[in-house]
Amino acid sequence: MAMATDATSPGSPAVSVRRLWSRIGPTGLLAVILALAIALPILAVFVQSAGVSTDLWSHMARTVLPGYIVNTLVLLGIVGVVTLVTGVACAWTVTMHDFRGRGVLQWLLLLPLAMPAYVLAYTYTDFLQFAGPLQSALRAAFGWRRGDYWFPEIHTAWGAGLVLSSVLYPYVYVLTRAAFLEQSVCVLEAGRTLGCTAFGAFRRVALPLARPALVAGVGYALMETLADFGAVRYFGIDTFTVGIYRTWFALGDPAAAAQLASVLLLVVLALVALERLSRGRMRFHQTTSRYRALPAPRLSPGGTVVAWIVCLTPVLFGFLLPAAILIRMILRGGTELTLARFTDLTVNTFILGAAGALLVVGIALLVIHGVRHDRSGLAGGAAKLASLGYATPGTVIAVGILIAAGLMRDWAGWPVGAILGTTIAGILYGYLIRFFVVAYGPLESGFAKIGPNLEGAARSLGHTPWQVLRRVHLPLLRPSLLSAAMLVFVDITKELPATMILRPFNVDTLAIEAFRMASTERLDDAALPALVIVLVGLLPVIYLSRSIAAARPGHRG
């Protein structure tokens, strides 16, 4: 029967290719090619997983696999709930209320973005463990011994979840705050005139309208959690990603490790699809362009105190406390770092961050432009595939690149060794794969807010899609482009595993230096490079904060 329908269908292959071409167009095709190039090393991991080792799987199913799954789910649950509640509460507090210190809190809340999760992990585990300074001081002060007192154990899923949340909530905060700021005051006022209380308008109007931002923010946090290896290792929590490393390196089975990685990626794909499905036909454009400064009620002194407590708590745990512990380590330890090496590390970190941010944002812009003009759905699907990189552990990406590069060497005779050994092409490719969605997300929501009307008008006035992009979209997208670039820059300054393995000779970054010291158990010496990573990341973070506030239509711009 299938044959019969095929035979009677109007198109020969040539016709259907032509029809596909008319739907996808040159911009769409470019997007598909770019997105597939990003997905290639991830696909290489799937290919690698072909060899089946059933014996090893049954061993893992009987021993460690249930633990990997449970730990990962518990961690995701904690991070999901904590980042959502913290991010939304803080965004609502600083956006919709006026109180003393609001301006300071607005950017203080972003500081944890600059703090690498693995740095937070080792500062907290070192500080809070039994032999650490805090418990030692307590024992000395009260004459306690082991078992005399209760102290929360940091080496648990709760410890790891809370610590990860305290650096990941800014993703929810940034995107939710931007969403609140971009909501036309009209919809909120309409809600109020229909009888909503202020909180009711928040719950029933603002929050549902901000849904894409909430989902994107929590999605980032969860994907970072899935990809994390550096931090969970310090907590001794065996997650799926730890399992991938174990299987690969200790059990010596790359195929089984790639299978585990594939399962991880399929779960992420399923989650992404599920969210899209549940969103259904909902759209989130603003129906009016009437904007003015949001009406922020002035808080009472009591309200101000509550607002400060709400907003300062995450900053305390995600930035102030760990920064203080790092400074304490530096003061205790001193450092062997010479000024020349220190400068070298900082300059390398900057160059990689800047080059990576430009590349990733540029490519993401080309892809999303293509996706918007593609009517075949292919480009959108390819972009989804390319987004998987963010949930993929850096080492898996790096090794995926190496496998793909090996294939290019065999087939096309590429001098892979010379390229990796002397240029930063390999690292930049790694960043592109890992952080593509970090740029793509803000651009996507930026485009969504512009809506189709402007483009329609420009096209009817005779602009080509490329001219629309350059003359209409780019100026309107400027804030989104900058946010995307800043986020990618900060992520790159913190990135470790892909940089480590894909770099050319003699190129060290601050993150690598911090890792070298920490891995040889010289935590005090790791503190200085770690703190400088934070400082390097701080500049774009502060800039980001200013640009979000300024980007609101109706605010001073």
Partner 1 sequence: MFISKIAGLAFAAGALTAVSVQAQEVNVYNSRHYNTDRVIYETFTKSTGIKVNIIEGNHDELIQRLKSEGASSPADLFITVDAGRLAAAAKEGLLAPVTSPALEAVKVPANLRDPDGAWWGLSSRARIIVYALDRVKPGAITTYEDLAKPEWKHRVLTRSGTHPYSLALTASMIEAKGDEATEEWVKGLVANLARPPQGGDTDQIKAVAVGEGDVALANTYYVGKLITSAKQEDREVAAKIGVVFPNQSDRGTHVNLSGAGVVKTAPHPENARKLLEYLLSPEAQRQFADGNMEYPVNPAVAPHPELTKLGSFKPAAVNAAAFAAHTPQAMRIMDRAGWK
Chain residues 46-75 in contact with partner 1, contact rule CB under 8 A:
59-60, 62-64
SS (H, E, C) 132-189: CHHHHHHHHHHCCCCCCCCCCCCCCHHHHHHHHHHHHHHHHHHHHHHHHHHCCHHHHH
| Near partner 1 by CB under 8 A: residue from 250, 340, 412, 461 | 250
Restricted to residues 216-235, the positions that interact with partner 1 (CB under 8 A) are: 233, 235
Interaction between residue 512 and partner 1 (CB under 8 A): yes
Pick 84 or 420: Cβ nearer partner 1: 420
Interaction between residue 328 and partner 1 (CB under 8 A): no
| Alpha carbons 109 and 175: distance in angstroms, whole number | 13
Interaction between residue 412 and partner 1 (CB under 8 A): no
| Alpha carbons 529 and 518: distance in angstroms, whole number | 11
CA atoms within 13 Å, Cβ hemisphere of 235: 29
Site string for partner 1, 375-404 (x = CB under 8 A): --------------------x--xx--xx-
| Alpha carbons 398 and 479: distance in angstroms, whole number | 31
- The owner of tokens 């759905």 is 377
Q: Beta partners for 298?
A: 98
Q: How many Å separate Cα 251 from the centre of its chain?
A: 30
| Near partner 1 by CB under 8 A: residue from 420, 458, 534, 549 | 420
Restricted to residues 102-131, the positions that interact with partner 1 (CB under 8 A) are: 125, 129-131
Name the segment binding partner 1 (CB under 8 A); options: 167-175, 269-277, 355-363, 532-540: 355-363
| Alpha carbons 356 and 30: distance in angstroms, whole number | 20
Interaction between residue 340 and partner 1 (CB under 8 A): no
CB 337 to partner 1: min, Å: 9
CB of 93 closer than 8 Å to CB of 311: yes
The torsion angle over the Cα atoms of residues 500, 501, 506 and 510, rounded to 10 degrees, is -10
CB of 549 closer than 8 Å to CB of 95: no
Applying CB under 8 A, the site for partner 1 has a residue count of: 76
Closest Cα to residue 36, out of 386, 335, 328, 376? 386
Pick 422 or 453: Cβ nearer partner 1: 422
Pick 99 or 124: Cβ nearer partner 1: 124
Q: Where are the alpha helices (DSSP H) in 280-393?
A: 301-315, 321-333, 339-373, 378-387
CB 329 to partner 1: min, Å: 11
Pick 17 or 418: Cβ nearer partner 1: 418
Pick 177 or 503: Cβ nearer partner 1: 503
| Near partner 1 by CB under 8 A: residue from 68, 229, 248, 435 | 248
| Alpha carbons 475 and 482: distance in angstroms, whole number | 11
Q: List phi, psi (to 5°) of 367.
A: -65, -45
Name the segment binding partner 1 (CB under 8 A); options: 21-29, 32-40, 316-324, 353-361: 353-361
Interaction between residue 556 and partner 1 (CB under 8 A): no
The torsion angle over the Cα atoms of residues 77, 80, 83 and 86, rounded to 10 degrees, is -80
Pick 88 or 345: Cβ nearer partner 1: 345
Interaction between residue 208 and partner 1 (CB under 8 A): no
Name the segment binding partner 1 (CB under 8 A); options: 319-327, 373-381, 516-524, 539-547: 516-524
| Near partner 1 by CB under 8 A: residue from 166, 225, 348, 349 | 348
Interaction between residue 423 and partner 1 (CB under 8 A): yes
Pick 76 or 157: Cβ nearer partner 1: 157
Interaction between residue 196 and partner 1 (CB under 8 A): no
Restricted to residues 261-280, the positions that interact with partner 1 (CB under 8 A) are: none
Pick 319 or 431: Cβ nearer partner 1: 431
Exposure string for 448-484, b = 16+ CB within 10 A, e = fewer: ebeeeeebeebeeeebebeebbeebbeeebebbbbbb
CB of 84 closer than 8 Å to CB of 214: yes
CB 78 to partner 1: min, Å: 18
CB 355 to partner 1: min, Å: 4
Pick 486 or 512: Cβ nearer partner 1: 512
3-state secondary structure of 354: helix
| Alpha carbons 83 and 310: distance in angstroms, whole number | 13
Pick 112 or 161: Cβ nearer partner 1: 161
Pick 14 or 339: Cβ nearer partner 1: 339
Name the segment binding partner 1 (CB under 8 A); options: 178-186, 311-319, 518-526, 547-555: 518-526
CB atoms within 10 A of CB 539: 14
Pick 131 or 461: Cβ nearer partner 1: 131
Interaction between residue 507 and partner 1 (CB under 8 A): yes
Strands (E), 24-175: none
Restricted to residues 130-189, the positions that interact with partner 1 (CB under 8 A) are: 130-131, 136, 139, 145-146, 155
Q: Beta partners for 98?
A: 298
CB of 173 closer than 8 Å to CB of 86: yes
Interaction between residue 496 and partner 1 (CB under 8 A): no
Give 111's contacts (C-beta < 8 A, 6+ positions apart).
Answer: 315, 318, 319, 538, 541
CB atoms within 10 A of CB 11: 12
Interaction between residue 453 and partner 1 (CB under 8 A): no
Interaction between residue 473 and partner 1 (CB under 8 A): no
CB 263 to partner 1: min, Å: 18
Site string for partner 1, 425-444 (x = CB under 8 A): x--x----------------
CB 55 to partner 1: min, Å: 10
Interaction between residue 351 and partner 1 (CB under 8 A): yes
